[in-house]
Structure 1
Amino acid sequence: MLDRIIPTSLFRGHWKGLSDYRGTTPRPDKLSRLLVVGVPLAAGVLMLLNRGCLSAPGALLSAVALFSGGLLASFGQLSTLRLKLTDRAGDNQFSERIDRDYLDETAAHLLVAAYSAAVSAALLIMAMSFGADAAGRIGGVWAAVITTVTTYVFVVFIIALPRLYVAYTRINKVRRELSGTASTKL
């Protein structure tokens, strides 16, 4: 029953997606996992150690809210691509496995980023209500936590985009002359 509130399966799918699953046995992609965890933590620690502050939290709140909406819209498009593969799975079940894997991985990344963006928005609202100074700036632990979560959203989004592009080009059979996944001379 708590799985409706606690997104364990969502984050588990996201973490599993940070693997090399092209072979028979998936292997963790340690560099991607390090970046996904390390970069946001480093940003939050730097914010805290340097006594940084978020001087325009309202602008950041707007950006995070828009980002969350965009991520959910992207997920809708991704679902359509995945449905296209599911519908024709009988003909190409094995040859399109990697394409389906790309989409499945990207779906988890996009939803984790959207979820984290919503958490970031909630944290910003609480910090603006309880942790802002007289000038409306947010500093200290609030700023560090918000920076960590927001950076996490950005890093996950950056990881999802190339996967989404590769899946798009493969599923839609984009010509080599136009596909960024094929190296051709222009």
Structure 2
Amino acid sequence: MSSRFVAVELFRGHWKGLSDYRQKNPIADRWTRAILLVLPLLAGGAMFIPGAQLAAPGAILAGVALLAGSFLAAWGQVASLRLRLTERAADFETAQQVDRDALDETAAHLLVASVLSGCTALVLVLAMNLAANPATGAVSGPLAAIAVALATYVLLVFLIAVPRLYTAYVNIHKVRPELSGTHRGR
């Protein structure tokens, strides 16, 4: 029963999605994976610099709470687009495989970002109630570092997912080249 709380498959799908899967055998995108590991650790580590603190943790809490819901809403849209491609997969088996893969990747990214937004919110609530400076409400120390690292990861996944959503939209809806950002030219 407790396996319901384990999101291993979700995170595995997210990690596998960080690959170039246009070939038969996907190739790991090591550069993106390294950025996703190193930047959050550096951002979280910066919270251990003397004097570093989250002066307004409530604002970050509000932001990640909104993001958690927004990511779930975006996931619903991705699922709808994916269903549309699944329905016509027999007609365009090879031609739309990249689009289907992009939506599958994006779905995992959005759900991971939503889960991590919720985790960030929890850490911030704990920090604000257990470790906040009573005079200022600022948060510092390990809980602040964890919150910053998680929030940084969420931001990076957001920056990965949004361009993927745009590309999927352009390809699935056949946006004409004059309006599509995926085509060079005016």
TM bucket (normalised to shorter chain) is: over 0.9
Letter of the 2:110 counterpart: L
For residues 142 and 171 of structure 1, what CA distance do their matches in structure 2 show? 42
Q: Deviations along 1:54-73, whole A, 9 cap, x unmatched?
A: 11111111111011111111
Q: Give the drift of 1:156.
A: 0.6
1:150 and 2:164 correspond? no
Q: Quick one: which amino acid aligns to residue 39 of structure 1? A: L
* TM-score under structure 2 length normalisation: 0.96
C-alpha separation between the residues in 1 aligned to 2:152 and 2:26? 27
Identity %: 49
Q: Note the residue ranges of structure 2 that are not aligned, 5 or more in a row.
A: none
Aligned to 1:83: 83
Match of 2:26 in 1: 26
Taking structure 1 as the reference length, what is the TM-score of the superposition?
0.96
Counterpart-to-counterpart distance in 2, 1:22 and 1:3: 33
Letter in 2 for 1:25: N
CA distance in 1, matches of 2:130, 2:90: 56
Q: In 1, distance between residues paired with 2:169 and 2:156?
A: 21
The 2-side partners of 1:121 and 1:105 are apart by 24
Q: State how far apart, in whole Å, the 2-side matches of 1:12 and 1:97 are.
A: 21
What CA distance in whole angstroms lies between the structure 1 residues aligned with 2:30 and 2:52?
30
Q: How many residues align?
A: 185
Q: Distance in 2 between matches of 1:51 and 1:147?
A: 15
Quote the Cα distance in structure 2 between the aligned partners of 1:71 and 1:168: 16
Residue matched to 1:103: 103
Structure 1 match to 2:172: 171
Which consecutive aligned stretches of 4+ in structure 1 deviate over 6 angstroms post-superposition?
Answer: none
Q: RMSD between aligned alpha carbons? A: 1.0
1:103-122 correspondence to structure 2 within 5 Å: 103-122=103-122
Q: CA deviation at 1:49?
A: 2.6
Distance 1:51 1:3 in 2: 40
Cα distance in 2 for partners of 1:104, 1:157 equals: 15
Give the conservation status (yes or no) of the 8 Å contact 1:19–1:28: yes
Mapped to 1, the partners of 2:9 and 2:36 lie a distance apart of: 18
Aligned-residue offset at 1:50: 4.3
Kept in 2, the 8 Å contact 1:57–1:138? The answer is yes
1:10–1:111: 8 Å Cα contact kept in structure 2?
Answer: yes
Corresponding letter in the other structure for 2:81 = L
Q: Which residue of 2 aligns with 1:182?
A: 183
Query: Which one-letter code corresponds to 1:172 in the other structure?
Result: H
